[in-house]
Structure 1
Amino acid sequence: MSTPFTPSRPPYRINIKRGRPVMGATGAGDFLRSNDKISPLLPTIQRHLSLQKDCGAILPPIFDTCEVMQLADGLLTLSAPNAALATKLKQQCPKLLSSLQERGWQINAVRIKVQVRRVVEKAPPVKQLALSGKALQAFSTLEQNLENTSQNTDLLAALSRLLERHQQQKK
């Protein structure tokens, strides 16, 4: 079992329950700058974040779900979550390339990779609408007084379902 890294000035606090170092918000930057193995990555990370921000400013609606993967030898590699978005992004490559060059980036080509991410779908929200007794009575009266014609069948079915659902919620 390896021991945790402890710099001369600890930029972290100790988690009492687990006894492991936990990075603090203010100490994370100090830790990255003081660690010899990680500090060379800091300029690359900052460059990628700046490039991500510029790409997002140039193509805001498209670039929301895309990410900068790599910038090496004048080749910018971007990731797109699906093929459809990759195609749209590919159509915007000339605009993106010229705009980035105007902003001072030394980029000659753009490559797009499709990288599907596992998306956890949220459950649809449960409706919390509660109709008053007066409203339910009005819908019930409408259902009873509405003519039973072919034009009204869908409306009658919808009113019936609405009234049944709200009767069940009351119970």
Structure 2
Amino acid sequence: MSRFSTNSRQAPKRFDPRRPQAVADVLDRTDAFRALRAGVEQVAALQRDLGSLLPDYLASNVEPGFIKDGVLALFAAHNALAARLRHIEPRLLSDLQQRGWAVDSLKIRVRPRPMTDPPPPKQARMSAAGASALQELAQALPSSPLQEALAKMAARHDARRAPERKK
């Protein structure tokens, strides 16, 4: 006789809020969440189709919205991309309809992305030998804008080394 009976059923899993759960399981729990899941899956499928229909520079900067009354909202990162989308709108609309999307028109909007932090300023470091070589070169050159720039650069890097020497 087998340990596993053919008539046995696994007990249904109980909800335990302390255990991690797959998002799909959470979204299937109620009717309201099922509708949300369907909308999220629709937007994801639309994003994939747009990614294959649009050039890379557009696909990475355009986000689809929901389809409402046959109108698909597309959100571009800035005005230039929105203008380019409006330029290819008839072809894009036709391609989406051929792929089975129930879209009659496109509504193109600009949704700027949040500003990213600028990169930190460069902190160039020069060795003492490099700074002294620049200083010697600046002294060897006749008076000119180049000679002044080299002297200023050598002095700036030599001044950074001054606190290190005091230690």
TM-score bin (small chain): 0.7 to 0.9
The normalised TM-score by structure 2 is: 0.73
Counting helix residues as a fraction of each chain, which structure ranks higher? 2
Q: Which runs of 4+ in 1 moved over 4 A?
A: none
For residues 14-40 of structure 1, what are the alpha-carbon distances to aligned partners after superposition, in whole Å with 9 as ceiling and x for unaligned?
A: 7xxxxxxxxx4x432211111332111
RMSD over aligned CA atoms reads: 2.5
Distance in 1 of aligned mates of 2:149 and 2:51: 45
Unaligned runs of at least 5 residues, structure 1: 1-7, 15-23
- Specify the structure having the higher radius of gyration (Cα): 2
**Letter of the 1:94 counterpart:** P
The answer to whether the 8 Å contact 2:72/2:105 transfers is yes
Cα deviation 1:138-160 (Å, max 9, x = unaligned): 222221122224xxx1x334323
Structure 2: gaps (5+ residues): 1-13
Distance 2:85 2:149 in 1: 43
Task: Output the TM-score relative to the length of structure 1.
Answer: 0.72
Out of 19, 22, 26, the residue aligned to residue 31 of structure 1 is: 26
Amino acid paired to 2:158: Q
Residue type at the aligned position of 2:34: S
Output the amino acid matched with 1:133.
A
The residue number in structure 2 matching 1:45 is: 40
